[in-house]
Amino acid sequence: MEDQNEKNTTELDNNDSGSKTTSAPKDKKRRKKGGMKRSQIIAIVAAATVIIGIGAYLIAREVNKPAGGTVAAPVVNIEDILEPLPAEIDNSGVLGRGVLEHIVGAGRAVENAYGLRPPTVELTEENRADFVKVTECVIGDNGLINIKTASDGIPKSDDKFYYLFALNAFDYSLPEGAEAVAKTYKNNEGVFSCSLNKGAASSRLFKKFAVGVKIDGNYQLISKGSFITNPEYGSKYGNVFMKPSSKKGILIDYSKYKTGQLEDLGVKQVAINFRIQDFLGPSSNALFPTVNYTYNGKNYAFDGAALSGFDETIRYLTENNISVTAILLNSYSSQYLTLIHPDARSKNVCPYYMFNAATEDGVDYLAAVGSFFADRYSGSKHGRISNWVIANEINARKEWNYMAYTDVDTYTRAYADAFRVFYNAIKSTSGSARVYISLDQQWNRDMKNNPDYDGKDVTDCFNSYIKEYGNIDWGMAYHPYNVPLTSCKTWTSSKYVKHSSDSPMISMQNIEVLINYLNQDAYLSPDGSHRSIMITELGYTSSGSGGESAQAAAIAYAFYKIDHYEDIDGLLLNRQTDDATEIAQGLATGVTTLGGGQKASYDVFKYMDTSEAESHMAFAKSIIGISNWSEIMR
């Protein structure tokens, strides 16, 4: 290396003099004998002076930086470094004036870059948790997870790096022994990339990503986490959603779905209750063997006999161009407690329980279940499911989604984590499918000692939490039953039904309250559009005051309202046939009786989305007390 440096120097000298080198060894020997010229020494000293001066200048800036982090006024001027240099250095053969000016120019560039450097900030208890904000967390065209961050300044830490961590859904602090999955230089804006590992045991599809730094040799988080917000990217099935030709739908009677009644009613959408535990475990029927499914390196068993019956139903509906909405329900089973949240495992009278995203095995199982069913019902072989509702009426904790009582924020976060797992599992497989939360009609009762939660509070907490950890395109499955349930007269004034967001209840009379609330900027989808709203359960009894005529009028009233609002994508009536258990409670909500007889509501439902609608619904105006349907709109 030393000989090569000597050779380069030699070539530079000869080129400057215009002569041709004929003997490098002789030149080398002559230098050793005569030593360096005075002009060469001056040039080298001058260059060193410039470099040292620049370094001193930057050090002085750092020393004089105030505590707040703002760069102080210069204490050394680079121009002062450039004293007039001896003329002979231009012909020194070592460093011409142009070279020195180049060094000075580089110094100025360093100075400018240094001036743009973000201020260094001390981390405190107040600013540490959210010092860095994750502004984007997506699967990119490169197949990697790409994360972008932003901050005001650079945090003081052991080194110059930010570190990225992949946390579990239930992690709100850095687990002991956690290792970073990526790192990048600290700056106001940061970019990380890491592998997705989709389908592998090391999959990060359900992780949330947070940023940390090293302080005193230990990692500390300085950001909240963010989940992947586009899990549908690269999904196996991209075009699964079946857009129905009408908003008209119904909760089907399994015993009648092949009798031709659905076709006669002109049903375009159906709702199906989907109790997960009914499909889990090995099959006991040799004709329908166990369906084994491997997901993220783990094996799961599904009952082939139970699946076979469900396959037949979904396939039939799909072939008849009927869009399917499946409501995923979490029954109690001692064999599958992994699916139930640890705070919900005490046996209760409630039929369904909070899903478990609070443990690693719970997340794995929910992810496998969501992926399995989305995969199975995304093609022509078994039919397709367009919409998935995660649990039923989650604000009715005691009645429909049991978990030990706690504050609404803690409760909703437990649900939101489970929802996120299902969302990512379903969308990563069936990219166009829609995923919904479910609420009943109790909106803002503000009751003391309420064993349940108001729908408004749950909506606020859910939306805030989802946005905080990565906004996604969730939808609202709402049940705007009348108050009281045993009355059909949803048009009657009630102290519980107001046309403002503080309304204790939301029925069909004031359904615009829900629409207007979700159309606020804070509640819009990530692309700025309104969220999909589905009325996935709504029924009126024929056993109350007014009988079948009142029931029929109420259904007409509900459909005219829903058809008016473009935000609402469907009305799934509860139900096709009366239910014996509900009849005992004073509720006969079917359009047919237990014996199969057609009620007055049958024809209303059949024709309400056709050109014959008015002729079959005009009778309802006198019952409601209006002369024109526009009178019920707000």
Q: What's 189's domain CATH number?
A: 2.60.40
In a domain, 240, yes or no: no
What is the percent of the chain with per-residue pLDDT over 70, rounded to a whole number? 82
Does 105 lie in the same domain as 154? no
Q: How much is the CA Rg of the chain, to the nearest whole Å? A: 35
Interval 289-296 mean pLDDT: 97
Residues, the chain: 634
Structure tokens that stand for 31 in this block:
């230098």
pLDDT at 49: 59
In a domain, 233, yes or no: no
Does 438 lie in the same domain as 314? yes
In a domain, 568, yes or no: yes
pLDDT at 584: 94
> Do residues 311 and 382 make contact, with C-beta atoms less than 8 angstroms apart?
yes
pLDDT band at residue 45, thresholds of 50, 70 and 90?
low
Distance CA 483, CA 384 (A): 35
Does 474 lie in the same domain as 443? yes
Q: Among the three residues 119, 141, 162, which one is the final residue of a domain in this structure? A: 119
pLDDT at 187: 94
Interval 577-603 mean pLDDT: 96
Structure tokens that stand for 293 in this block:
């499914």
Distance CA 473, CA 423 (A): 9
Rounded alpha-carbon distances, angstroms, from residue 63 to 23, 60, 118, 187, 338: 52, 5, 16, 21, 58
> Do residues 397 and 405 make contact, with C-beta atoms less than 8 angstroms apart?
yes
pLDDT at 19: 38
In a domain, 164, yes or no: yes
**Amino acid letter, 556:** A
pLDDT at 76: 45
3-state helix, strand, coil in the chain (%, to 5): 35, 20, 45
**Amino acid letter, 242:** M
Closest listed residue to residue 507, CA positions, set 440, 604, 455: 440
Distance CA 246, CA 614 (A): 16
pLDDT at 380: 74
Question: Tokens 């230089």 identify what position?
Answer: 185
Does 288 lie in the same domain as 220? no
Q: Among the three residues 88, 119, 150, which one is the final residue of a domain in this structure? A: 119
pLDDT at 568: 97
> Do residues 607 and 616 make contact, with C-beta atoms less than 8 angstroms apart?
yes
Does 160 lie in the same domain as 109? no
Does 556 lie in the same domain as 422? yes
- Report whether pLDDT(31) > 50: no
Q: Which domain holds residue 192?
A: 133-227
- Give the tens place of pLDDT for each residue, 60-96: 454 444 444 444 444 445 455 545 555 555 555 555 5
- Give the tens place of pLDDT for each residue, 299-347: 999 999 999 999 999 999 999 999 999 999 999 999 999 999 999 999 8
Q: Which residues of 493-525 are buried (b: 16+ CB within 10 A; e: fewer)?
A: ebebbbeeeebbbbbbbbbbbbbebbeeeebee
pLDDT band at residue 493, thresholds of 50, 70 and 90?
very high
Does 279 lie in the same domain as 167? no
Task: Quote the pTM value.
Answer: 0.83
Structure tokens that stand for 153 in this block:
């300044």
Closest listed residue to residue 536, CA positions, set 512, 572, 493, 579: 572
In a domain, 236, yes or no: no
Does 195 lie in the same domain as 86? no
pLDDT at 266: 97
Question: Is the pLDDT higher at 277 or at 114?
Answer: 277
Interval 246-262 mean pLDDT: 95
Question: Tokens 């990225």 identify what position?
Answer: 164
Q: What CATH number is associated with residue 508?
A: 3.20.20.80
pLDDT band at residue 6, thresholds of 50, 70 and 90?
very low
pLDDT at 238: 85
Does 254 lie in the same domain as 358? yes
pLDDT at 33: 47
Q: Mention every residue, 6+ apart, whose C-beta is less than 8 A from residue 612.
A: none
pLDDT at 106: 62
Report cis status (omega within 30 of 0) of the bond before 119. Answer: no
Interval 109-128 mean pLDDT: 75
Rounded alpha-carbon distances, angstroms, from residue 299 to 173, 296, 331, 373, 427: 30, 9, 21, 15, 21
- Report whether pLDDT(258) > 80: yes
Q: Mention every residue, 6+ apart, whose C-beta is less than 8 A from residue 508.
A: 480, 482, 490, 538, 554, 557, 558, 561, 562
Does 149 lie in the same domain as 58? no
Does 190 lie in the same domain as 82? no
Structure tokens that stand for 66 in this block:
């105030």
Q: Among the three residues 58, 85, 119, which one is the final residue of a domain in this structure? A: 119
pLDDT band at residue 26, thresholds of 50, 70 and 90?
very low
pLDDT at 436: 98
Distance CA 554, CA 513 (A): 19
In a domain, 366, yes or no: yes
Burial category of 369 from C-beta neighbours within 10 Å (exposed 0-12, middle 13-18, buried 19 and up):
buried
- Report whether pLDDT(42) > 80: no
Dihedral, CA atoms, 250, 518, 237, 246, nearest 10 degrees? Answer: 30
pLDDT at 1: 44
- Give the tens place of pLDDT for each residue, 351-403: 999 999 999 999 999 999 999 999 999 987 999 999 999 999 999 999 999 99
Q: Mention every residue, 6+ apart, whose C-beta is less than 8 A from residue 344.
A: 353, 354, 356, 402, 403, 404
What SS3 state is found at 483? coil
In a domain, 238, yes or no: no
10 Å Cβ neighbour count for 22?
8
> Lowest mean pLDDT: which of 115-119, 335-339, 349-353, 501-505?
115-119
Strand intervals (E) in 196-259: 208-215, 218-221, 226-227, 248-251
pLDDT at 347: 85
Distance CA 263, CA 268 (A): 9
What is the percent of the chain with per-residue pLDDT over 90, rounded to a whole number? 79
> Do residues 323 and 269 make contact, with C-beta atoms less than 8 angstroms apart?
yes
Closest listed residue to residue 130, CA positions, set 160, 159, 150: 150
Q: Is the dihedral of CA 177, 183, 189, 192 positive or negative?
A: negative
Mean pLDDT of all residues belonging to the chain: 87
Does 544 lie in the same domain as 451? yes
In a domain, 501, yes or no: yes
Looking at the structure of the chain, the number of domains it has is 3
**DSSP label of 126:** T
